[in-house]
Structure 1
Amino acid sequence: MKIRVDRDSVCMGDDVLPHEVEFEVPEDMTAEELCSFLQKDRYLPGLDTEWLLRHGGKTITSYNTETKELTNPNVYLKDLIHQGSRGNDFVWIYRRSY
């Protein structure tokens, strides 16, 4: 299954290259597995940062880069794709934790 993932920039230097990427992922991938997959390449930068995963304008999960805490880890991406009108597009929104 193909998905498109994009994310906010975290600083001016982070704006140099686009963050939208397309991946071929397993049909049964969960939000937790997506997060783990993306973190292998350090796709979600930041120390003590919270990232919100959104699909179709709705927040699906949040991930803290310091504590590795993830809400709603067992949500299947394919279920979101089939239920929503946004297709295979997922966006990570940057939110600094304090």
Structure 2
Amino acid sequence: MSSTQQVNVLAIASCKPEFTQEFIEFFKTIVKESRKEKGMIKYDLNQDSVNPNVFYVCEEYKSMADFEFHKTTPHFLSMVKYVEGKVESLEIKLMKPIE
């Protein structure tokens, strides 16, 4: 993947049921702060329509450098700490758009 090519990310988090509502409220701040980043095209939190404890974070960055920068931000680092013990599983998929 080229460092200047758009990067799409899909993060799938399965939250422990007792933390679902807290997870949503916490992530509202993450979404708000992430959308302010230079190089951010899209950052959305979605909840599964069948299992309310499963969340999909759809992210689009202008480049790999922008994605790498995102991973150094205070809100990202706070999210990494926050999910410890609150999620049953977390899967991250890096993708490139087909044009």
Q: Same fold (TM over 0.5)?
A: no
1 or 2 for the larger relative contact order (CA 8 Å, sep ≥6)?
2
TM-score, with structure 2 as normaliser: 0.33
Q: Which of the two has higher C-alpha Rg? A: 2
Q: Whose helix proportion is higher, 1 or 2?
A: 2
TM superposition score normalised by structure 1: 0.33
